Amino acid sequence: MKSSIKIVAGNSNRPLAEAIASYLDVPLARCQVKRFADMEVFVELQENVRGEDVFVLQSTSFPANDHLMELLIIIDALRRSSARRITAVIPYFGYARQDRRAAGRTPISAKLVANLITEAGADRVLTLDLHAGQIQGFFDIPTDNLFAAPVMVRDVKERLPGGNRMVVSPDVGGVVRARALAKRIDAPLAIVDKRRERPGESEVMNIIGDVEGRSCILVDDIIDSGGTLCNAADALLANGAKEVYAYITHGVLSGGAVSRIANSKLKELVITDSIQPTHAVALAKNIRVINIAPLMGEAIGRTATESSVSSLFD
């Protein structure tokens, strides 16, 4: 790896940053990110970065605003310290669900965050499984959206061998993602169609596809409260599915989500470490975390050497 690469980590996911640095055989740059008494963020780079190719690793996960400010201030510090190129590596891009105006008088916060990162001084962005692919167009700088699919495919083939697997999209909007995984593992596809006939009535889940006797694999990019996923698992089992697994890239798991998953009929929830797992996640018997450091590290290495990143997913 080029000696001119520097990797700077914020506080959002230090273990992932250390694993990526280890994969690349590059030490993390010395950088102090701390808070003043009033919780203002202060950043001090403790080594020279002039003329360097710098990668800033920071997921904008909970607390999202604190971690976003850390990212912006680190980028600003690097720009003012004459770094040659600054790449914001954001395994989990917060605010991605606010990618359009769903109602009147509402913001498009994903675009605002993209503007903030660009104006802070980032030269390019590297992220993983954006909630909506069009967010790449919100940036006026080069943006690479990586996919966790190769990591998940490898895990599925190791853990769930056999021909009765079926990939399921938990909603109509996630069909493209689910179809891509189904193609990679040579499995059929089913869709959970959610609808509420009238306001105030409970949601009805219809299954499009024959899941009878199948090991179903629910696929999505984000799990937050876990309610939709648990309801989808119940609907699949009610329609004759043998067992239900879930492979989700970003384990937001807010509120009582971990408890909800632990007490659900899901055989197993598999998430990546794009967001640092909490202690509750580590204790949950049916939640497993897979590592994305090799994928992110390889993409960073290819970016540094100006090699193809998209060929990682061919």
What confidence tier does 201 reach under pLDDT thresholds 50, 70, 90?
low
* Neighbouring C-beta atoms of residue 296, cutoff 10 Å: 28
Q: What does the mean pLDDT of the chain come to?
A: 94
Question: What's the CATH number for 5-146?
Answer: 3.40.50.2020
Residues acting as catalytic residues: 194
Give the pLDDT band of residue 1 (cuts 50, 70, 90).
Answer: very low
In this predicted model, what pLDDT tens digit does every residue of 138-168 receive, in sequence order?
Answer: 999 999 999 999 999 999 999 998 789 999 9
- 220 assigned binding-site residue: yes
Q: Is the pTM of this model over 0.85?
A: yes
Q: Is 127 labelled as part of a ligand binding site?
A: no
Give the pLDDT confidence score for residue 204 in this predicted structure.
66
Residue 303 annotated as part of some ligand binding site: no
The reply to whether 5-146 and 149-290 are identical in fold is yes
Does the annotation place 53 within a ligand binding site? no
Domain borders along the chain are 5-146, 149-290
2-50 pLDDT per residue, tens: 447 999 999 999 999 999 999 999 999 999 999 999 999 999 999 999 9
Q: Which CATH class name applies to 149-290?
A: alpha beta
The answer to the question of whether 225 is labelled as a binding residue is yes
Tell me if 47 is assigned to a ligand binding site: no
pLDDT for the residue 252: 97
Mean pLDDT across 194-206 = 68
Sequential DSSP letters for 7-51: EEE-SS-HHHHHHHHHHHT-PBPPEEEEE-TT--EEEEE-S--TT
In 38-174, where does DSSP find H-type helix? 64-80, 109-120, 149-159
> Sign of the CA dihedral 40, 41, 47, 53?
negative
* 92-130 tens-digit pLDDT: 999 999 999 988 999 999 999 999 999 999 999 999 999
